[in-house]
Each structure stands twice: as structure tokens, then as C-alpha cells.
Amino acid sequence: MLNWEGLLASRAARMKTSEIRELLKLLERPDIISFAGGIPDPALFPAEKVSDAYAKILTGPAATAGLQYSVSEGYRPLREWLVGEMGKIGVPCTVDNILIVSGSQQGLDYLGKIFLSPGDTALVTWPTYLGALQAFNAYEPAYDRLTPMGNRAPESYRVQAEAAAEGGQVKFAYVTADFSNPTGDTLSGPARNQLLDLAEALDIAIIEDAAYQALRYDGESVPPILALDVARHGGDIEKTRTVYSGSFSKTLAPGLRIGYLVAAQPLIRKLVLVKQAADLHSSTLNQMAIAEVVPDIFEAQVARIRETYRQRRDLLLAALSRSMPEGVSWTRPEGGMFVWVTLPEGMDGARLLARSLETEKVAFVPGQAFHADGSGANTLRLSFSCASPAMIEEGMARLGRLIREALADGA
């Protein structure tokens, strides 16, 4: 029998199973109350509008185009619509600044591939999006902590020195600026500017994961990092260092697998070459369907999602306040899909999950997986996007009871 492991590249050792993808299998069990998967509520998908769009495309003169090979950059009418949307959030650009990808996860993989050599350093928050770590891990980077923004000048020199000691260099800072996965936190305007200052001091790129940017429920909107970067350069996106990663997964439907990257043209041109080597182009048919529906329904669709998720967030926060014992704390996000819970010191989220699935039948994601350094054992992530009011109330009552029992047992 062939020893497959012996033939694999060294990077394969850093590829780990996603705890979240494994936990999604629990959604099939009717006895489990799940707050694990950060997935959109399928009841909110604009299924009828998308179905009508496919029917129109496949029965009209564009049917052949929808089924044929296409350009790697993406369907031009969709990119033109995105130019208008980016302008609304302070990012003047052209279609040549936009690359369509097969979901923002593919975009992160491309960015890891184009930036990272083995031993290079990526700056990430503790915790950070697990999918980003999975995408970057294949390219064998080191990670350094992107701490809360403050006076970072001394930090920039330390980061450079430590990266050089590893035989590489700092390449980028990765951050979800709005309603991050997993914490739900949002970077303030001053913090975003301080991150730009740090990136300029290190002469590195910023990857701004904006998957949840449209899902603000309250509070004041903060300009995207790319918008602040453009403003620093007199409105010229070609002088910026920020890559904006957007997606239709949270606003339309994740099954369409359409995302996009927005950046200066020299980087987009290089990313096009990466895409040509990977999959030639993203689904033309899906791009055409999105381009067909978004002019008419996008604003109303996003408003509907915001209202639904806002109500569920409020219910979850209220249930946590009623049900959690002293010593447990949590974030209060202004948008997105997640609440981050910090357990008393010494409690382990993974052990708590195993106990929960056995006794209380409540699923969540242990927080350690989101930490590049393996810390965060006493944390967990809750998603409210698919939870009904009854699920939230009962689920938090059970989880609170479980945590009290674990505290009593010294677990």
C-alpha cells in the first residue's frame, strides 16, 4: 500500500480539520440546540428572485454565455455594480480594481498564496477567523499577535526583528474590522487609522475581511480601512496597501459561492494569474444571476436580514444576562452573527462542549481553535443567526446550568 503521507509536501502537516465544519454535522440531529455554525438563516434567502434570474438567463440570449468559459477577472456587469457599491462606502475604484472569486474563502487562499513564503509572518488578532488560519497555514507562515491598537511604534521594530530571525519578513496584517468572526468586535475609527500607521511603518499589506460589513444593527458606521487608506492618498486607490475582501454569502446565499477582492491594480493583476492557475474563473452563471437580482433587491434584502438578526442578537444577549453565572462575560456586538463568551479561568471550552453534547444537547464552538498560539481554552463562540427565540431561551438556560455544574465540580 502506498504511503501517501510520505509523499505529501511539508505544508500538508499544517492542514487541520475545521472544528466548525465538523460541528455543522450536528445540525442534522433534531435533539441538538445548535449555536455552532455561523451560517445564514435559509428562510432569508431570496430563493424566488434567484430562481427567476436563472430562468431568465438560461432561456434568453445570454444562455450560452452563462454556460461557457469566461474571463478570470469576473462578469463585467457584476463588477460594474460593485464599483457603485464600493463608492457608497468611500472607495472610488474601477472594474480593474475588482476580482471575482469563488467565495471570500478562496480569496483568502489566493492572498496567502501570493504573499506568504515559508517562514514569513502574518499578523492576526488573538482570536481570529479560523478559516483565515486554515487558508494561510498551507503556506507555512509564522504568526504574530495583532494586539488592540495603541502606540505601536516599538512593536513594529520587534515584529520585524522576530520575523527576520525566522528567516522571513512580515507580509500583512489580517483583520475583520466589522463584527468579527468569532468575537463580534468592531475596530474603531482611530484603531483603523493606527493599524494603517503600523502597516506603513512595517511596509506591509492589510487584508480587510469585510464579510459582515453590511450587517450593522445599531451604532455608528465606521469607514472601511480601505476607504481610510484611499482618503490618505487623495482618493487614489492605486496608492493604497489595503485589500478589501467582500462576499455575497451573508447577504444573498452562501451556496452561490461568489466573493470579491478590491485592491490596487498591480495586486489584482497578480491575483488574476493565481486564479487562472487555480480554477480559470468563478461560476459565470452564478455571477450573472447575482448581477440580475442585486440592482432591484439588494438594499431590501440586507434590511430584512438586519432586522431579523438584530432581534436574535438582542434575545441572546438578554438570555445570557438571565442565565449565566457570575464570572462569565461576553461581547455585545453591534452587528454580525456572533457573541464571544469568556468562561472563568481554568474552565476548558472543549471539555465543556463534550459534556454539553452528552447531557444538555447544546452545541457551540470552543474558542481555542480561533487562536493561532493555542490559547483561549476558556472561551467559546455562539452564533445567533439561525436560532429561534425558543431555542435561544432554552439553549442559554441549559448552558448556564451546565457552567454552574462545571464550576461546582471544579472542571
Cβ-based neighbour number of residue 104 at 10 Å: 26
Strands 338-342 and 329-330, by their bridges, are: antiparallel
Q: What are 380-391's pLDDT values in tens digits? A: 999 999 999 999
More confident position, 167 or 329: 329
**Residues 154-165, mean pLDDT to the nearest whole number:** 70
Residue 4 lies in a domain: no
Proportion of the chain above pLDDT 70, given as a percent: 94
Confidence category of residue 291, pLDDT binned at 50, 70, 90? very high
Which grid cell is 338?
Answer: 456572533
Provide the 8-state DSSP code for 216.
B
Residue 1 lies in a domain: no
**Residues 197-201, mean pLDDT to the nearest whole number:** 91
Q: Long-range pairs for 366-371 at CB < 8 Å and ≥24 separation?
A: 366/19, 367/127, 367/182, 367/340, 367/341, 369/19, 369/20, 369/130, 370/127, 370/128, 370/129, 370/130, 370/133, 370/182, 371/126, 371/127, 371/128
Give CA–CA dist 386/315, Å, rounded: 12
Q: What range defines the domain where residue 120 resides?
A: 50-296
Q: What are 90-113's pLDDT values in tens digits? A: 999 999 999 999 999 999 999 999
**Does one domain contain both 312 and 289?**
no
Structure confidence at residue 3 (pLDDT): 86
**Does one domain contain both 372 and 272?**
no
**Residues 261-269, mean pLDDT to the nearest whole number:** 98
Residue 3 lies in a domain: no
Confidence category of residue 149, pLDDT binned at 50, 70, 90? low
**Does one domain contain both 36 and 157?**
no
More confident position, 165 or 64: 64
Confidence category of residue 152, pLDDT binned at 50, 70, 90? very low
**Does one domain contain both 258 and 385?**
no
Structure confidence at residue 154 (pLDDT): 40
**Residues 144-168, mean pLDDT to the nearest whole number:** 68
Q: What are 177-193's pLDDT values in tens digits? A: 999 999 999 999 999 99
- 31 pLDDT higher than 60: yes
Give CA–CA dist 46/349, Å, rounded: 36
Confidence category of residue 30, pLDDT binned at 50, 70, 90? confident
In contact, 295 and 135? CB cutoff 8 Å: no
Domain ends where: 296, 325, 359? 296
Average pLDDT, the chain: 92
Structure confidence at residue 132 (pLDDT): 97
- 263 pLDDT higher than 90: yes
**Does one domain contain both 260 and 333?**
no
**Does one domain contain both 149 and 272?**
yes
**Does one domain contain both 19 and 160?**
no
Residue 94 lies in a domain: yes
Structure confidence at residue 297 (pLDDT): 97
